[in-house]
Each structure stands twice: as C-alpha cells, then as structure tokens.
Amino acid sequence: MKILLLDKNHPLITEQLSGKGFLLEEDFTSTYDEVLKKIATYDGIIIRSRIPIDKNFIEHAKNLKFIARVGAGMENIDVEFAKSSGIKLISSPEGNRDSVAEHVLGMLLILMNRLFIAFTEVKNGIWKREENRGDELLGKTFGIIGYGNMGKAVAKRLSGFGVKVIFYDIIPDLSDEFGTQVSLETLQKEADILSLHLPITPETHYIIDEDFISKMAKDFYFVNTARGKNVKTSDLVKAIRSGKIKGAALDVLEYEKSSFENIESENEDLEYLLQSEKAILTPHIGGWTIQSKEKLAQVIVDKFLSDFSQS
C-alpha cells in the first residue's frame, strides 16, 4: 500500500508504518493542483489541514482507500462524498483532548484572575491590588456545548474546582460523573461560563451570535477552542462591550485561514479583541502540545493498523 503524507507530523507515523511494510512518501510543499496530478497512484493519504480534500480531489484519487486526518475536525474533507466512494476516514480526536482541556483551564484562570494584566503592570512598575481582584471558579456553573472527546476532557479537569458542570449535546444520554446533560434552554439559563467544543457544520456555523447571547440569563465568561466560525465575532464584540460577556478566551478566530496557519483579514472587531483587557487570544494552539503531537500520530497509526494490514 502506497501512502502520501501531505503535512508534517510526528515521525513515528513514518517509522511505524514503514516498519510494517507500507510505502510512505512525503510531500509538504506541492500545491493542490500539483498533488492532483499524481494522487491517482496512492492508496491512502495522511493530512492535517494544508490541502482541502474536496469532491474534485477525491474523483482524481482513483485508488484511494483511506484518508487519515491527524486531528479532530474533518471540515477540510468532503466526508459524505468520501464515504460514498468507499473511502475509510480516520481521525484522532483522542490525541489532543487533554491538551485542549488544559488550555481551556489555563486561559480561563488567566482571564478571570487578571494574571496577564497584573503581570504586565508589575513589569512596568505598576502595583495595583484592588483593580486586579480575581473572580473564582468555585461555586459557578460551567456550561459546555458539545460533549465529545474535548468536552468530556474539560469536564474531567474541572472536577477539582468546585464547579457545577452542565452540558448540551445533540446526542442523548451522555451524562457521567463529571457533567450533567441539560437542554440548551437550561444551559442558557444557568451557565456562568460557556465553553464550545463543536465541529464546524452548517448547523454550528455562527451558533454563537447576538440571538444566542441574548438568551443567556447571566452575564458570562466565554471560551472557544473549537472553530472560529462557530462564533460571529461582531456579535461577540458587541456583547463584550456591553458587559454581557464578562471576558472571552479565544484560541480560534473567525478570520483564520482554512489551514489554521494565519489570519486572512484584519478589521475593527479583531483590533478590539487584541486591545481589550477582557479578551485573551492564542493562535490555535489548544491541542498543540509536545505530548499531543505524539499522541495524535499514535492514534492514527493504531486506528490505521486495526483496519489495514499488508498482505
């Protein structure tokens, strides 16, 4: 079986699969059109987000038996067409769930306790105590939308913080020892903090907009480590300005390129977030730790080997 690697990943993928007799080739620079010219000769591809695997790509990939996405989201793949073409899809959300969960807690603690602001002030010789009073997690209700690998990992991390964890998910009967499933209306009524853990789909695009925010009964903190386009940024900024959103911790932005490697545009809303003391932004690194790089790759290898074996 001949496999094309289109993105750089942990070397264990190449080492372990080559050791099992698979032929792996790397191409981290060719454009979409350049890959199209040769993709028919490969049985499988391993990707992150650099190149979109759309219907046109799949139609050119005559021998493709699998697509492995090192990560959680599959939005850069035409999933339905791939499935209808008999192509096996593999992803590895288990690999970076712990990394995402820790990032959520890290950003939230920095935001609620004004740690970065206070640190910056002290570095500049400013010593303010009253102005930098923090806000405790203890006793608050933490709302999660999306209770898959990431949402569950966040709930688990919160178990020692003395918070009540509730979540909404379209799949029923997911309550466990770390979180209680509720209706969306109940979550909007009770949550002091809201954290998103959703894929991007037509249904979840701009799920957080002015209408959603207006239905939140309390002023709340907001965390997004899912996808930037889950949130309508202009409405988010309005809510921060008004005080409805007490603070926002954003690891993803609406303005990211599809490859997540940079921001496509700059505008007044982004500039506000960059300058506001009520917002913390990181460059889509929630699932990007030393450990997760290895775990993401190992999950892909393990799943692949469970489905395919060299004859």
Residue of 50, 197, 254, 256 with catalytic role: 256
3-state secondary structure of 223: strand
Distance CA 96, CA 72 (A): 8
**Cα–Cα distances in angstroms (integers) from residue 36 to residues 5, 6, 33, 42, 284, in the given order:** 14, 12, 5, 11, 28
* CB of 40 closer than 8 Å to CB of 60: yes
List beta partners, residue 164: 141
Distance CA 15, CA 259 (A): 25
Residue of 50, 69, 114, 284 with catalytic role: 284
The values of phi and psi at residue 281, to 5°, are: -120, 135
If one counts every other C-beta atom within 10 angstroms of the C-beta of residue 236, the result is: 25
**Cα–Cα distances in angstroms (integers) from residue 105 to residues 49, 161, 172, 256, in the given order:** 26, 10, 26, 23
Catalytic (active site) residue 60: no
* CB of 75 closer than 8 Å to CB of 184: no
Distance CA 1, CA 24 (A): 9
Catalytic (active site) residue 284: yes
* CB of 122 closer than 8 Å to CB of 101: no
- In sequence order, the 6+-apart residues with CB closer than 8 A to the CB of 184 are 145, 168
Residue of 103, 114, 227, 254 with catalytic role: 227
Catalytic (active site) residue 129: no
Residue listed under structure tokens 């490697």: 261
The values of phi and psi at residue 22, to 5°, are: -85, 150
* CB of 183 closer than 8 Å to CB of 206: no
Q: Which residues are catalytic?
A: 227, 256, 284
